[in-house]
Amino acid sequence: MGHEHSKLSEPKGSRRARFKERLRRHLHRRQSGNGSSANKPLTADNFAGIALLALLSAEMEFKDKWIACVSLGEQTFRTSTSDSTDKPVWNSEKKLLLEQNGAHVARISVFETNKLSSNTLVGYCEVDLLEFLTKDSDPEAEVFNLLDPSVPGKVVGNISISCSVEDPIETEKGFVKRILSIVDYNEDGMLSLSEFSDLIDAFGNQVANSKKEELFKAADKNGDGVVSMEELASLLTFQQEQEPLLNCCPVCGEILQISDRLNSMIHLTLCFDEGTGNQVMTGGFLTDKQASYGWFFKLSEWAHFSSYDVGIRSGSSASHILVYDRKSQRLVEEIIDKKIVLSMRAIYQSKIGLGLMDIGVKELLQSISEKQGARMDSPESSADIPRFIESFKDQINLAEVKYPLEHFKTFNEFFIRELKPDSRPIVSAERDDIAVCAADCRLSAFKSVDDSKRFWIKGRKFSVQGLLGKDMCSSAFVDGTMVIFRLAPQDYHRFHFPVSGTVEQFVDIPGCLYTVNPIAVNSKYCNVFTDNKRVVSIISTVEFGKVAFVAIGATMVGSINFTKKKGDSVKKGDEFGYFSFGGSTVICVFEKDSIAIDEDLLANSTRALETLVSGIITGGLIFAAHIRTLLLQIPIARAVTMVNVPKTKKTYCKSKECRKHTLHKVTQYKKGKDSIAAQGKRRYDRKQSGYGGQTKPVFHKKAKTTKKIVLRLQCQGCKHVSQHPIKRCKHFEIGGDKKGKGTSLF
């Protein structure tokens, strides 16, 4: 079987062997602390393959019936239910695909089962599957501690697993050997041309069928009319890389996708897999919570016809909220009480609910928010803090909180808790051309407001003018980029500046207090963002132009508080303000073409899938600016300075390796040819009765300047070098300041 090849000795110089050695060197440097690469996290960019993961058994602290789930990326699998014991045995396995740039950390969760209620998560662990590549041999089992989701660091049991990971090339060779043995009729380990011809026919590839004799001769090195399976396996593996031979599965007849070669190989491997004697885990789940549902809960799900999936949820299907965790690269279900879900569906997802809004529900929500806000500020509300933490289990990291729980005298004090200074590091803090996330949030990003209305915001009256107000909305914002930061109750509820600049102004816009939950935002019957109470502020920046920052109140959030005032100069990551109890949202609107959003955030948003971003930065760039033209004074000659010369320039890179818009770095500059007037035309005011002969430098609209400045540019991506001329404005003054469109040369 495919996974057995990983236990064989590695051929010297094989890709898997080289990768294992590279991993060993990386781990050695990381442990010793030597070398600049020691601090760089290991990525999955260098490897793609198949992992056979087996959940064998566990040891728990009490007896019950247990199930285990394993989640990787957007797939989750579960075992069968064990007998009532404190030492459950499953012996269940599953082959998992490890993609390049994809998820490679699997989360294993163990649940105790309940007959009439949802199953309870007892413990979990996370396993980096790529680390198994660094092991010299695959052990029979490895034991991992199970951590309590409610108490950080507490061990509640352990689980035994085994895992083997193999290179796709090794998988293909092993598969080819097995499939060739089927047509080896005389079982001599050699294939004749007729036997090989039967095999090609089974592949279902008519194009390759005409080349089978050519392929066979290529493998028949000595020309004796037969080839060994080892020779033919190597040839077919190489040929499959160049031009796919397999169009359909010889076992089940399923058509294989030529564009997805690795998944096709996994399908074939599974079809030809004789099995190991272990049970195969059940699949088809998106999250471990879905996989752990008991029969009673599944029946209730069937009763109201909901669908468990990503994307916009409307009507009866609006019962689950799935978000993509950017850090773990895994789908997770947002925790929300089912009674609240039903209430929100009744109010926001129906015309009847819309009618209720017009006959007093708005005023009721306002009254509830005011009363609940007053209660959360009372000393008695501190008793709710432990229950609140328990309800969200492992989603609140108390180790990051600045003060111990005893410090908080009211619930709201805990809700607006501060974090320790180093818990949210800022990416590229010295670079103002890189923006960061404004809060712990579920993030949606759209290149334009039209995209946001197409993929996420379904309110019929939503517009930028309605969001920002007539006084704050300039024409540059109309087609601008929009980023939505939705805060859930369990999140850190202080928001921060995503960019560096100056706070220009604040405008309070009164409104309702609808929920900002996707169930309401995805509804066509209400306009949450334009009807809710909000505060709009404008941040003036050098790199991004104007940035509109909108803090939106929600149900239970009547209070929006700011810690900065008009005129303050701020750095990205500085605290801007906080929300009191409840869920809430921040929206940033950037001017058109002023920012480039990370592709993974845009891709998720086009699927109507929010991205969970924990912290101001989570291990990479959140946004990168389209740097317009950063102004820098560059010395040109003695006592001469040129201003408005860019140090970077966004141009179209024309090299074959790049062929895309890339930031270029200015490495050299030179002046173009000057005219006589370029040194500054002096107009002599000669008056017969005055001071004739006096010369005076003046602003002269007809004066000519340097024809051009030539910049030597180097693409930061492919290092392609080019020259870029910059034409100067003809309005200038000698020895004076900038006037109008003019620029001072001296």
The residues annotated with a catalytic role in the active site are 440, 496, 584
Determine the angle formed by the axes of helices 168-182 and 15-32, rounding to 10 degrees. Answer: 150
479 and 592 in contact (C-beta within 8 Å)?
A: yes
CA distance 482 to 466: 14
Residue labelled with tokens 């579960």: 78
CB 479 within 8 A of CB 509: no
143: number of Cβ within 10 Å? 14
For residues 528 and 522, give the distance between their C-alpha atoms in angstroms, rounded to a whole number: 9
Q: Which residues contact 151 (CB under 8 A, 6 or more apart)?
A: none
Between the alpha carbon of residue 304 and those of residues 285, 323, 335, the distances in Å are 19, 22, 19
312's tokens: 């916009």
C-alpha 554/C-alpha 533 separation (Å) is 8
| Cβ atoms of residues 532 and 323 within 8 Å | no
Sign of CA dihedral 27, 33, 35, 41: positive
Spell out the alpha helix ranges (H) of 399-460.
Answer: 411-415, 449-455
- Half-sphere exposure of residue 122: CA atoms within 13 angstroms, side-chain side: 24
Largest CA distance in the chain: 122
CA distance 721 to 738: 32
SS3 content of the chain, % helix, strand, coil (to 5): 30, 30, 45
Distance, in Å, from the CA atom of 643 to the CA atom of 495, rounded to the nearest integer, reads 36
Are the C-beta atoms of 92 and 102 separated by less than 8 Å?
no
DSSP 659: -
Tokens of 7: 């236990």
Rounded Cα distance between 634 and 448, Å, is 36
Which residues, 6 or more positions from 439, have their beta carbon under 8 angstroms from its beta carbon?
A: 485, 487, 491, 492, 493, 494, 495, 496, 586, 616
CA pair distance 221, 218, nearest whole angstrom = 7
**Helical spans, DSSP H, in 512-662:** 518-521, 528-531, 599-606
Give which of 280, 275, 263, 297 is closest to 55, Cα–Cα.
Answer: 280
Phi, psi of 54 (to 5 degrees): -120, 125
Is the distance from CB of 262 to CB of 102 less than 8 angstroms?
no
